[in-house]
Copies of this chain bind each other. A is one copy, B any other.
Amino acid sequence: MRQVAIIGAGMTRFGKFIDRSLKDLGREAVEGALGQAGVEKSAIEAAVVGNASAGLITGQECVRGQVILREMGFGDIPIINTENACASSSTAFHLAWLYVASGMCDTALALGVEKLYHEEKRRSYAAIGAAVDVELVQQILAQMQAQAAAKTKEQAANTPGGSGAGQSRSMFMDIYAALARSHMQKYGTTKEQYAKVAVKNHYHGSLNPHAQYRERYTLQEILDSPPVAEPLTRLMCSPIGDGAAALVVTTAEKARQYTTKPILVRASLVGSGKDLAPDEPTAPTRVARRAYDIAGVGPEDVNVVELHDATAPAEVVIYEELGLCKLGEGGRLIEDGVTELGGKVPVNTSGGLLSKGHPIGATGAAQLCEVFWQLRGECGDRQVQGARVALTENGGGMVRGEPAAVSVHILSA
């Protein structure tokens, strides 16, 4: 397979854009990516578009990519619509990479785009709730309710069990909260350590003009924000958002015609969950290990990471899954400042899902934009000095107790 390079990236600011259409958001991201790459539309030979929720939010299904791209003047080329919940656009990027790596075409576009805000908030939560197997989740919820009933009344008082933000949101946050509590029980991780992840990511986000939320918070402010599901507070949870992100990939050879700073895609993988045997590694662990193998690097070589911090505790768990530290030492890693700007491996310099925002179908592509810009030294106040190797990890949905999709990419300057 051929070596592939990223030569341009573009994204909208993430935020609440009730009045902007998918077309409008997509156009800004695509024009940004083409502009940075210095590539004409006519040079794009394939386009892959990731979106998770337009069907349920706007009623536009089936041909979402064509609706956005045809109006911009793209046509004739393969336009592929792909969906993998929160990993929709890392999947889109993977397929754009595959088009080029395979030799099928030389230059391809990946776009992730999402509008999650809707005047009826119920619709937004229904869209998020579609990222699971509805039948199975109802079974899991029934089990969790049975477990909760078996606990002491005092514990129950500390676990409100929902954000009040709608059934689907609360269901996902209940799952995340259960994972967070399990990590605390097993490894002694503390709520303060989780809160530190949120302090860090909100601080990083304050340095990123593309971030939805740019406020900084103290540890106490994170802990004191409204409870969602113990130990999660609102500022430890990613918000709903709208936005788009795009990348242009081409062969490593051709990249040099466009730029002196191509960024090589050293590994591009999508995996899925499985029914785990006891002590079997989780989906992010398995996919990351394969990616390291293919890229010929280890976690110790990685200088900057974007990972799927749908909640602050998830980031701690994923540190371990990516091998940034040993199992159970994630809490210590954030405590020691290893993953903050200035630390050994800054994580989520963009602000991550917590602060940059999480328009789910745009998130994976936006992670790749961030590390692309980091490896090119284009991140201004949030630049990781001398970054040479980057990793992104993007998870999507939940089916039978594991993520439905996990995508890991490793890039190098």
Contacts and interface: CB of A to CB of B under 8 A. Distances in A.
Contacts of A103: 1, 102
Copies in the complex: 2
A274 B405 contact: no
Interface in A130-187: 130-134
A102 B268 CA distance: 13
Contacts of A245: none
A31 interface: no
A236 interface: no
Q: Chain A interface: which size bin?
A: 35 or more
A82 to B, nearest CB: 5
Given A1-B103, A104-B98, A271-B76, A397 B130 contact: no
Most buried by B among A101, A103, A104: A104
A413 interface: no
Contact of A131 (B61, B101, B396): B61
Given A80-B91, A98-B102, A98-B104, A63 B270 contact: no
A409 B394 CA distance: 33
Contacts of A274: 70, 75-76
Contacts of A404: 62-63, 66-67, 70, 79
Contacts of A99: 98
Interface in A90-111: 91, 94-95, 98-99, 101-104
A275 interface: yes
Interface stretch (A50-58, A257-265, A369-377): A50-58
Contacts of A74: 272
A61 B66 contact: no
A396 B98 CA distance: 23
A318 B6 CA distance: 39
A169 to B, nearest CB: 15
Contacts of A256: none
Nearest to A78: B270
A78 B286 CA distance: 12
Interface string A250-294: 000000000000000000011111110000000100100000000
A380 interface: no
Given A62-B52, A404-B66, A77 B271 contact: yes
A326 interface: no
A81 B396 CA distance: 12
Interface string A333-371: 000000000000000000000000000000000000000
A23 B399 CA distance: 13
A120 interface: no
B132 A63 contact: yes
A59 B1 contact: no
A101 to B, nearest CB: 6
B134 A397 contact: no
Contacts of A220: none
Contacts of A83: 61-64, 81-83
Interface of A: 1, 52-53, 55-56, 59-64, 66-67, 70-71, 73-85, 88, 91, 94-95, 98-99, 101-104, 126-127, 130-134, 269-275, 283, 286, 396-397, 399-400, 402, 404-405
Given A64-B83, A70-B274, A79-B84, 8 more contacts: A63-B84, A63-B85, A70-B272, A76-B273, A78-B272, A80-B91, A81-B82, A98-B102
27 contacts: A1-B102, A55-B55, A56-B56, A62-B84, A62-B85, A62-B88, A62-B397, A63-B84, A63-B404, A66-B397, A66-B404, A70-B400, A71-B400, A73-B275, A75-B274, A76-B271, A76-B272, A76-B273, A76-B283, A77-B271, A77-B272, A79-B270, A81-B83, A81-B84, A83-B83, A98-B99, A102-B102
The 8 closest A-B pairs by CB, nearest first: A75-B274, A102-B102, A55-B55, A61-B130, A62-B85, A63-B404, A63-B397, A78-B270
